[in-house]
Amino acid sequence: MGKLFFSTNYDADTGGHFGEFGGRYAPELLMPALKELEQAYLSAKQDPNFEQELMDLYANYSGRPTPLYHAVNLSQQLGGAQIFIKNEGINHSGAHKINHCLGQALLAKRMGKRRLIAETGAGQHGLATATVAAKFGFACTVFMGEVDIARQRPNVFWMEQLGAEVRSVSFGSRTLKDAVNAALKDWFSSVEDTHYVLGSCLGPHPFPSMNRDFQAIIGLEVQEQIQQYGFAKPDYLVACVGGGSNAMGLFNTFLDDDAVQIIGVEAGGRDVGMLGEHAARFQGGRPGVVEGYKSFFLQNGDGQIAATHSVCAGLDYAGIGPQLAFLKQVGRVRMTYALDTEAIAAFKLLAQTEGILPALESAHAVAEAIKLAPTLGKDKTIVVNLSGRGDKDIFIVTEALGDAKWLEFLRSKVGQAEQISTKGRK
Partner 1 sequence: MNRIANRLAVLRTGKRIGLMTHVVIGYPSLETSLELVKLMAEEGVDFVEMQLPFSDPVADGPTLMRANEAALSQGVTVADCLATIRRIRTAVDIPLFVMSYYNLLYNYGTERFCADAQAAGVDGLIIPDMPPDEEEREKLFALCDAHQLINSTFVSPACSDARLAEIAGQCRGFTYCFSTYGITGAREELDPRLPAYLQRVRRLLPGALAVGFGIKKHEHITALQGKADVAIVGSALLDAYTQAVQDNGLEAVRLCIRDLLCEND
**Residue 295 contacts residue 257 (beta carbons within 8 Å):** no
- Angle CA 105–221–230, to nearest 5: 175
Backbone angles phi, psi at 306, to 5 degrees: -85, 155
Total site size for partner 1, rule CB under 8 A: 39
Measured CA to CA, the distance from residue 50 to residue 151 in angstroms comes to: 37
- The single residue among 9, 46, 49, 304 that binds partner 1, judged by CB under 8 A, is 304
Question: With binding defined as CB under 8 A, does residue 168 bind partner 1?
Answer: no
Question: With binding defined as CB under 8 A, does residue 3 bind partner 1?
Answer: no
- The single residue among 289, 394, 407, 410 that binds partner 1, judged by CB under 8 A, is 289
Residues 55-94 that bind partner 1 (CB under 8 A): none
- The single residue among 5, 6, 10, 25 that binds partner 1, judged by CB under 8 A, is 25
Measured CA to CA, the distance from residue 312 to residue 42 in angstroms comes to: 34
Clarify whether 348 is annotated catalytic. Answer: no
Which residue lies nearer to partner 1 by CB, 35 or 153?
35
Cβ neighbours of residue 168 under 8 Å, at least 6 residues apart?
144, 145, 146, 149
Catalytic residue among 173, 245, 310, 387: 387
Cα end-to-end span (Å), the chain: 63
- The single residue among 157, 188, 229, 409 that binds partner 1, judged by CB under 8 A, is 188
Question: With binding defined as CB under 8 A, does residue 379 bind partner 1?
Answer: no
- The single residue among 149, 166, 290, 313 that binds partner 1, judged by CB under 8 A, is 290
Instruction: Please report how close the Cβ of residue 119 comes to partner 1 at its closest, in angstroms.
Output: 12
HEC string of 357-386 equals: CECHHHHHHHHHHHHHHHHCCCCCEEEEEE
Dihedral sign for Cα 144, 149, 152, 157, please. positive
Which residues partner with 70 through β-bridges? 84
Clarify whether 3 is annotated catalytic. Answer: no
Clarify whether 38 is annotated catalytic. Answer: no
Question: With binding defined as CB under 8 A, does residue 27 bind partner 1?
Answer: yes
- Angle CA 360–366–369, to nearest 5: 160
Q: What is the DSSP letter of 387?
A: -
Catalytic residue among 119, 221, 277, 291: 119
Task: Return the H-helix or E-strand segment holding 294.
Answer: strand 293-297
Instruction: Please report how close the Cβ of residue 203 comes to partner 1 at its closest, in angstroms.
Output: 11
Instruction: Please report how close the Cβ of residue 177 comes to partner 1 at its closest, in angstroms.
Output: 7
- The single residue among 213, 291, 361, 368 that binds partner 1, judged by CB under 8 A, is 291
Q: What is the DSSP letter of 201?
A: S
Task: Return the H-helix or E-strand segment holding 187.
Answer: helix 176-190
Stretch that binds partner 1, among 91-99, 209-217, 260-268, 287-295 (CB under 8 A): 287-295
19: left (phi over 0), alpha (psi -120 to 50) or beta: left
Which residue lies nearer to partner 1 by CB, 30 or 247?
30
Question: With binding defined as CB under 8 A, does residue 14 bind partner 1?
Answer: no
Instruction: Please report how close the Cβ of residue 92 comes to partner 1 at its closest, in angstroms.
Output: 32
**Residue 66 contacts residue 86 (beta carbons within 8 Å):** yes
Catalytic residue among 75, 88, 97, 368: 97
Question: With binding defined as CB under 8 A, does residue 26 bind partner 1?
Answer: yes
171-174: long-range contacts, CB 8 A cutoff, minimum separation 24? 172/145, 173/145, 173/147, 173/307, 173/308, 174/145, 174/146, 174/147, 174/148
* CA distance to 135, 215, 340, 387, per residue, from 250 (Å): 26, 8, 23, 10
Question: With binding defined as CB under 8 A, does residue 147 bind partner 1?
Answer: no
Binding mask 198-237 for partner 1 (x = CB under 8 A): ----------------------------------------
Question: With binding defined as CB under 8 A, does residue 190 bind partner 1?
Answer: yes
Residues 29-58 that bind partner 1 (CB under 8 A): 29, 31-33
Q: In whole angstroms, how large is the CA radius of gyration of the chain?
A: 21
Measured CA to CA, the distance from residue 104 to residue 318 in angstroms comes to: 24
Which residue lies nearer to partner 1 by CB, 318 or 350?
318
**Residue 207 contacts residue 137 (beta carbons within 8 Å):** no
Which residue lies nearer to partner 1 by CB, 32 or 415?
32
Instruction: Please report how close the Cβ of residue 28 comes to partner 1 at its closest, in angstroms.
Output: 4
Measured CA to CA, the distance from residue 174 to residue 145 in angstroms comes to: 4
- The single residue among 6, 17, 111, 353 that binds partner 1, judged by CB under 8 A, is 17
Question: With binding defined as CB under 8 A, does residue 301 bind partner 1?
Answer: yes
Q: Which residues are catalytically annotated?
A: 97, 119, 387
Binding site for partner 1 (CB under 8 A): 15, 17, 20, 23-29, 31-33, 171-172, 177-178, 181, 184-185, 188-192, 286-292, 297, 299, 301-305
